[in-house]
Amino acid sequence: MTTAPTILITGCSSGIGYSCAHGLAARGWRVIASARRAADVARLQGEGLDAVQLDLDDPASIRSGLDAALALTGGRLDALFNNGAYGQPGAVEDLTREVLRAQLETNLLGWHDLTRRVIPLMRAEGHGRIVQNSSVLGLIALPYRGAYVASKFALEGLTDTLRLELAGSGIHVSLIEPGPILSRFRDNAHAVYRRTIDAEHSVHRATYRRMEARLTTEGPAQPFTLPPEAVLKKLVHALESPRPRPRYYVTFPTHLMGTLRRLLNTRALDWALARISRGGRG
At 34 the three-state DSSP class reads: strand
Is 215 within a domain? no
Give me the number of domains the chain comprises.
1
Tens place of pLDDT for every residue, the chain, 282 residues? 368 999 999 999 999 999 999 999 999 999 999 999 999 999 999 999 999 999 999 999 999 999 999 999 999 999 999 999 999 999 999 999 999 999 999 999 999 999 999 999 999 999 999 999 999 999 999 999 999 999 999 999 999 999 999 999 999 999 999 999 988 898 999 999 999 999 999 999 999 999 998 888 776 667 788 999 999 999 999 999 999 999 999 999 999 999 999 999 999 999 999 988 876 433
Domain containing residue 107: 6-86+93-182+225-278
Candidate list 148, 193, 208, 248, residue with the active-site label:
148
Contacts of 271 (CB under 8 A, 6+ apart): none
Q: Residues 19, 13: contact at Cβ < 8 Å?
A: no
C-alpha dihedral, 147 to 149 to 152 to 153, nearest 10°: -120
Residue 247 covered by a domain: yes
- pTM, full prediction: 0.94
- Does residue 199 lie in a domain region? no
pLDDT tens digits for 58-95?
999 999 999 999 999 999 999 999 999 999 999 999 99
Q: Is residue 30 part of a domain?
A: yes
Q: How many CB atoms neighbour CB 42 within 10 A?
A: 13
Q: What is the pLDDT at residue 217?
A: 79
User: What CATH number does residue 43 fall under?
Assistant: 3.40.50.720
User: E-assigned strands of the chain?
Assistant: 6-9, 30-35, 50-53, 79-82, 128-133, 171-178, 247-250
Whether 204 is covered by a domain: the verdict is: no
148 is catalytic: yes
Residues 47, 115, 63, 65: what is their CA dihedral angle, to the nearest 10 degrees? 0
Q: Is residue 187 assigned to a domain?
A: no
For residue 197, what are the CA distances in angstroms to 149, 161, 210? 17, 33, 15
Tens-digit pLDDT profile for residues 210-241: 999 888 877 666 778 899 999 999 999 999 99
pLDDT value for 281: 37
Rounded CA separation 56/132 (Å): 14
